[in-house]
Structure 1
Amino acid sequence: MDAVLSVLYVVVLVTAGMAGAGLLRARPPAPARRAPVATMVAFALTAVPSLLQLTVAPGLFEALRRDRAAIGDGQLWRLVTSFAVQDGGWPGLIFNLAALAVIGTLAERLWGPARWVCVALAVQVLGNLWGLVVQPVGAGTSLVNYGLAASLAAAALVLAASRPPAVVSLAFALVLLALGDIHGGAALLGGVSGGVFAALDAVTGRKSGGGPPVS
């Protein structure tokens, strides 16, 4: 089952990245790109605590992770801070940082920093609530990664750009959800958010990323 899940994880991210890149290529020419500030900040907030956790401060994991008993006792901050430490060791950290750099940058180019943060926060908090049911103890940046990825796929589907990889990504994400995997819940939340944002942009004629209305 672990091997199957690993394949599903990779396919969801890769095809979502393809869908997002295709959608961005199909948009009208944009002004000079700004640095993906939200992605860079999130990268630092992941890298620094995780490196400390895996080297000199292993206690950070227990202090910041998602823990159903601790959250039930009122430690609600864990719904957010579990983003900053990893339950997959060095391989998990490297994978999550690489995914965040690629998927996060694509999502920020599409949505702009404000919407990026809205999607990421919603997925992190609500995805962890789903995690309290299916994986009561854990941590990692993957919830945000899969939420942002699904937002790209949903936007590509709604805006009729690069639909085949978008369909594959969302279909595999639904398989994860059906299997009771925490990342399936995160993808569902991100997909709904991305679909709503894309539909609003289509109705208003406004280009995602904070750009001017599309003529």
Structure 2
Amino acid sequence: MTALAYLVLLAAAVRAGLGLLAGSGPEGRRRVPVATVTALVVVGVPTLLQLTVAPALLGQLGRDRAAIGDGQVWRLVTSLVVQDGGVPGSVFNLAALAVVGVVAERFWGARRWVVIALASGVLAQLWGLVVQPVGAGNSVAVFGLAASAAAAAVRSGDRAGRAFGAVSLLVAAALLVAGDIHGGAAVVGATVGTVLTAADRRRRR
């Protein structure tokens, strides 16, 4: 059931984001997704090493409340580049990063993409210390990016975009209430997306 919620959240956000791109003109649609490609390399290389020749990387870099409490605060970031879901989870996380990342970057641009991804990824780790003390994966950054597009669509999209965006955000809220780390990531992404959208509106006025 949780996996279905993840798929609904991401799919609805992607649809909402595509609607935003359709109304943004050719510039956004042609934008080269530099940040997404870079992130795929930064995450993909350690993930591949972890799954093949260096399985100890997960324990060394992943989120671990006890280790972070002992001063290993870098794990709040490094836990984004290794995976706790084995091969299936890794494939899903990287594929989701590619799809959601491209849509989000073509709408937000590379700099804002990085801000949203890092804010969602790192702050979600803090929520994870409460609800899932041990774990790893780039999925939290993906969920933050997805929710940022959903939030922008709710504020600025057409009727269909607002509907899909609302569905994505409702699922995110349900995940948060259920104590899911991805719900926390989505809330951060939605908040940043709402702030950025409001700032854009003020500039246009």
Give the TM-score category using the shorter length.
Answer: over 0.9
CA contact (8 A) 1:65 1:82 kept: yes
Q: Trace 1:60-75 onto structure 2 (pairs within 5 A).
A: 60-75=57-72
The offset of 1:159, in angstroms, is 0.8
The separation in 2 between residues aligned to 1:28 and 1:144, in whole angstroms, is: 26
1:120 match: 117
The Cα RMSD (Å) is: 1.2
1:21 and 2:18 aligned: yes
Q: TM-score, normalised by structure 1?
A: 0.92
- Change in CA separation of 1:9 and 1:62 when aligned onto 2, cut-off 3 Å: same
| Matched AA of 1:135 | Q
Confirm or deny that 1:181 pairs with 2:180.
yes
User: Does the 8 Å contact 1:84/1:140 carry over to 2?
Assistant: yes
Partner of 1:213: none
Residue type matched to 2:179 in 1? G
Residue 152 (structure 2) aligned to one of 142, 152, 155: 155
Gaps of 5+ in 1: 207-215
- The CA distance in 2 between the partners of 1:37 and 1:118, in whole Å, is 14
Q: Alignment partner of 2:19: what SS?
A: helix
Q: SS at the partner of 1:83?
A: coil
The reply on whether 1:43 has 2:44 as its aligned counterpart is no
Q: Separation in 1 of the partners of 2:165 and 2:108?
A: 17
- Where structure 2 has 5 or more consecutive residues not aligned to the other structure, the ranges are none
Other-structure match for 1:132: 129
- The one-character-per-residue Cα deviations of 1:77-128 (angstroms, maximum 9, x if unpaired) are 1000001100000011110111100100111111111111111111111110
Change (3 A) 1:169 1:70: same
- Deviations along 1:144-163, one digit per CA (max 9) or x if unpaired, are 00000000000001113311
Equivalents in 1 of 2:29, 2:121: separation in Å? 30
Residue 203 (structure 1) shift: 1.7
1:68 Cα deviation from its structure 2 partner: 0.3
Match of residue 209 from structure 1: none
Distance in 1 of aligned mates of 2:122 and 2:156 = 27
- What residue in structure 2 maps to residue 90 of structure 1? 87
Q: In structure 1, what is the Cα distance between the partners aligned to 2:140 and 2:46?
A: 17
Which stretch shows the higher mean deviation, 160-169 or 26-35? Answer: 26-35
Return structure 1 stretches of 4+ with deviation > 6 angstroms: none
TM-score norm. by structure 2 comes to 0.96
The reply on whether 1:76 has 2:73 as its aligned counterpart is yes
SS across alignment from 1:169: helix
Deviation at residue 29 of structure 1 after TM alignment: 3.5
SS at match of 2:202: helix
- Cα displacement (A) at 1:202: 1.5
- Alpha-carbon distance between aligned partners in 2 of 1:28 and 1:43, rounded to the nearest angstrom: 26
Summarize deviations over 1:45-97 as a string: whole Å, max 9, x none.
11111111011100000010000001011111100000110000001111011
8 Å contact from structure 1 (residues 159, 202) kept in 2: no
More helix by share: 2
Q: Residues of 2 paired with 1:193 and 1:34: CA distance?
A: 21
